[in-house]
Amino acid sequence: MKVPSVKVPGLRRRKVNDLPGVTAVARIDRRTKRLTKRLKAGEIAIIDHVDVDRVSAEALVACGAAAVVNVASSISGRYPNLGPQILLEAGVALVDNASPELFDVVRDGDLVRVHDGVVYLGEEPAGKGEIGTTDSVEAAMTEARAGLSVQIEAFTVNTMEYVRRERDLLIDGVGVPDIETVMDGRHVLIVVRGYHYKEDLAALRPYIREYRPIMVGVDGGADALLEAGYKPDVIVGDFDSVTDRAITCGAELVVHAYRDGRAPGLERVHKLGHDAVLFPAAATSEDIAMLLADEKSASLIVAVGTHATLIEFLDKGRAGMASTFLTRLRLGSKLIDAKGVSRLYRSRISTASLLLLVATTLVTIGVVLFVAPVGKIWLDGLQDTWNGFIFWVVGLFS
């Protein structure tokens, strides 16, 4: 005998969509740039990122993150980083200093809900943090600006330490590997997936067409070149933020290794069936790309998306950024920074104006041909030619 089902009032669960806050799939990773590779629009990013930098924030916004939950401090006060402000201006909900236990409780792909700073897994709270607001971010930024002098002192100490450790590489080029790509006397374009790299690459199209420089992609910069329609000649980096597509595009691969020779990125390259050249150095990948081009006698080095200001150095959050300052001193006038080219120059002639100019020119030519005696003779000759063509075509079918 079939027993009829009985509905018990009050025990029906509410639909997920009816609950307040942001409900979505969670993507969790301690490295933000690794997480953005699989983050999709509308999902929630759970990260562990002290001082969220501008590039990371822009990547999260570009992926369409609905919310960002950070188990670290998005603004620690070391310096005025722009990441949190960018997230809030884009309408991305921010939860800061969240419970570290989230990395133990939440798994990648779980459905979670974020409301009032609390992260729910199912109906149970999995962790909580501080709600990031425009006012709280602005207050933290003001405090960070006041302590910037301390970071400048630390940056100076790091620079001197780098000089001590890498003076042979920096001064004499000792340790620069041999590569097959010939750069002698050529222009070299080095692309880093940094600030305004898309705009600057677009602004450099006329230069690229004319000079055809050697294309060097630094990690994700290789993908930036592919996206812009170019094929990198050389890829330099630790290969943790470059796609398989870029690695297998046919470019020469230079893996950035630690000073002791360890190169975590080399294993990935070998798994894809490719060989690579090792470049051990304490500098950043973008700096060793510049040093490589300089040592291989490039006549000019054009940098896109690289770091040039103190805030940008600190934004990377690594002591190794001190190498950038000294690398630029070594390269001197050979290095041209393309940063801001797209903002420095924009054509003041619009497409509509050009079309109007062409149309006006054609109308003027037509009027002159119609009115002038020579124009009438030319038009009569053109008409006779057209009539002869029509007669010939008709004759083919008669």
* Cα distance between residue 109 and residue 25, in whole Å: 5
Q: Is the dihedral of CA 92, 227, 36, 75 positive or negative?
A: negative
Q: Are 203 and 339 in contact (CB under 8 A)?
A: no
**H-only helix segments in 101-241:** 102-105, 134-146, 148-167, 197-203, 205-211, 220-227
Over the stretch 291-344, which tens digit does the pLDDT of each residue have? 999 999 999 999 998 866 666 666 655 545 556 767 777 888 899 888 656 555
- Phi, psi (deg, nearest 5) at residue 390: -65, -40
Q: Are 116 and 109 in contact (CB under 8 A)?
A: no
H or E stretch including 70? strand 67-70
Over the stretch 29-74, which tens digit does the pLDDT of each residue have? 999 988 998 999 999 999 999 999 888 899 999 999 999 999 999 9
Domains present along the chain, CATH in parentheses: 16-144 (3.50.30.10), 147-344 (no CATH)
Over the stretch 86-124, which tens digit does the pLDDT of each residue have? 999 999 999 999 999 999 999 999 999 999 999 999 889
pLDDT at residue 394 tops 90: no
Structure tokens, 49:
């990122």
Q: Is 141 exposed, middle or buried (0-12, 13-18, 19+ CB in 10 A)?
A: middle
Separation of first and last alpha carbons in the chain: 90
Instruction: From residue 109, give the alpha-carbon distance in Å to each of 101, 119, 129.
Output: 17, 14, 21
Q: Are 265 and 299 in contact (CB under 8 A)?
A: no
